[in-house]
Amino acid sequence: MKLTIGHLYPDLLNLYGDRGNIQCMMKRLQWRGIEAETIEFEIQDEVDFSELDIVLLGGGSDREQMLVCERLKEIRDDFKAYVEDGGVVLAVCGGYQLLGTHYSTDQGVIEGLSIVDIYTEQGKDYRLIDNIVLESELSDMPVVGFENHGGRTYIKDQKPFGKVIYGSGNDGQSGYEGIIYKNVIGTYLHGPLLPKNPQICDHLLSKALERKYKKSIELAPLDDTEEREANTYIYQRFKGKVSR
Ligand code: GLN
């Protein structure tokens, strides 16, 4: 078996090492004897979604998002078709915001892909920056990470990625973080999301393998004891505290 991961626009959407998530996916596949390849796409490159099993869209500054949004308009129909067909996507922070209809900032409105029915507004005063701890139905251990965003994202009554135990999440008010839509995860958890939360990684890998090979896949277990202990400790340490 083999999976191909497409990294969209690492030249622009490259904040806080979101690309480490790709290394984690590759490694967890290789440890199980499954082949893995990554294709990096720069802004001018053609993207053939039919050759991709997983797509990563990382975080970026408002300026970079503005640049990327022009290109996204051109690939939007193919991207949407990929998602509707069960294509796996991990979209982080700026990339997450770009999945929605729009992101309004003081500098203007950044048009999104409209792949999911969510939207983002720039916060009036402060950025939401802190550690974050979630409970997510995709992981039986707590999900831990770090968030740093000015935008507040509104997902209406759609399924969130997780319930906020500590931190701000989508908009600092709703108590929820991110979104799950089909095989898409959109989240504000920057940096080592998948290395720190291996079950989220395996969820994405299984979905991609099941879609490609059209059968249910039981991934061989890996030893995640350290992550379980660390995340459980962090959960207990932060539960009940207030972020701001
Ligand atoms: N520019 C967006 C915001 O500040 C996303 C930033 C990011 O990807 N960290 O909300």
The residue type at 61: S
CA dist., res. 70 & res. 110, Å (int): 9
149 Cβ inside 6 Å of ligand 1: yes
Q: What pLDDT does 19 receive?
A: 85
pTM exceeds cut of 0.90 = yes
94 Cβ inside 6 Å of ligand 1: yes
Distance 27 CA to ligand 1 centre (A): 28
Q: Is 100 helix (H, G, I), strand (E, B) or coil?
A: coil
The single residue listed with the structure tokens 């079950």 is 199
Distance 126 CA to ligand 1 centre (A): 12
Active site residue 102: no
Q: What pLDDT does 18 receive?
A: 82
Active site residue 190: yes
Q: Catalytic one among 7, 24, 69, 93?
A: 93
Q: What pLDDT does 34 receive?
A: 98
Q: What pLDDT does 156 receive?
A: 95
6 Cβ inside 6 Å of ligand 1: no
Distance 147 CA to ligand 1 centre (A): 9
Phi and psi (nearest 5°) for 43?
A: -55, -35
Q: Is 51 helix (H, G, I), strand (E, B) or coil?
A: helix
Which segments within the chain are labelled E, that is strand? Answer: 2-8, 35-41, 54-57, 88-92, 102-105, 108-111, 119-122, 128-135, 143-149, 151-154, 162-166, 176-177, 179-181, 184-187
105 Cβ inside 6 Å of ligand 1: no
What DSSP string describes 58-84? ----HHHHHHHHHHHHHHHHHHHHHHH
Q: Which atom of ligand 1 is nearest to the CA of 92?
A: 8
CA dist., res. 165 & res. 176, Å (int): 9
Long-range contacts, 217-220 (Cβ 8 Å, 24+): 219/32, 220/32
Q: What pLDDT does 77 receive?
A: 97
| pLDDT by 10s per residue, the chain, length 244 | 999 999 999 989 888 788 899 999 999 999 999 999 999 999 999 999 999 999 999 988 889 999 999 999 999 999 999 999 999 999 999 999 999 999 999 999 999 999 999 999 999 999 999 999 999 999 999 999 999 999 999 999 999 999 999 999 999 999 999 999 999 999 999 989 999 999 999 999 999 999 999 999 999 999 999 999 999 999 999 999 988 7
Maximum pairwise Cα distance, the chain: 49
148 Cβ inside 6 Å of ligand 1: yes
CA dist., res. 41 & res. 11, Å (int): 9
Distance 236 CA to ligand 1 centre (A): 28
Pairing of strands 151-154, 184-187: unpaired
91 Cβ inside 6 Å of ligand 1: no
